[in-house]
Amino acid sequence: MKRISLNKVMAKLAEEQTPEKVELDAQSDMNIYLKQMDKSARKSLDSFKKAELSIKELIDSEQEYNEVREKMQLLYETIQEGAGEIGVPMPRWATAVEYRIKSKSEAVGMKARLRKLL
């Protein structure tokens, strides 16, 4: 087994730890962290943009749902009045329509859950 003197080891360590080398190592580490920060920032921005688009789609869908629901409700009420005037019972499907008019859309519930998150 080859013997290595302590002096040689200490000299080698001192040689490797020069101020210039330490400074270069610190700069290299800083560059790595900067790249990681940039990557994370881009990923966060992309996620925010996707979330914003999803929220806009949710709002648009909810508005469309409410518009159609109002039209359906007006038509239902017209049919209901007409049936009452001529003394005819409402059709069987009327119960399902009435339920749908009164129920909230799934999007409305999602919007409420989203508000809680924000």
Closest Cα partner for 117 from 56, 63, 66, 55?
A: 55
Write the pLDDT tens digit of every residue in 64-94: 888 888 898 888 889 888 888 888 888 888 8
The answer to the question of residue 23 being in a domain is yes
The answer to the question of residue 73 being in a domain is yes
The answer to the question of residue 1 being in a domain is no
The answer to the question of residue 74 being in a domain is yes
Give me the torsion for CA of 54, 55, 58, 60, rounded to 10°: -110
pTM (whole model) above 0.75: no
The answer to the question of residue 34 being in a domain is yes
Where in the sequence is the domain holding 15, given as residue range(s)? 6-117
Closest Cα partner for 65 from 20, 28, 103, 37?
A: 103
Mean residue pLDDT across the chain: 79
Looking at the 3D structure of the chain, how many domains does it have?
A: 1
Closest Cα partner for 71 from 95, 97, 92, 105?
A: 97
Write the pLDDT tens digit of every residue in 6-23: 566 666 666 666 666 656
Q: What are the CA-CA distances from residue 29 to residues 22, 23, 32, 35, 36 (Å)?
A: 11, 10, 5, 10, 11
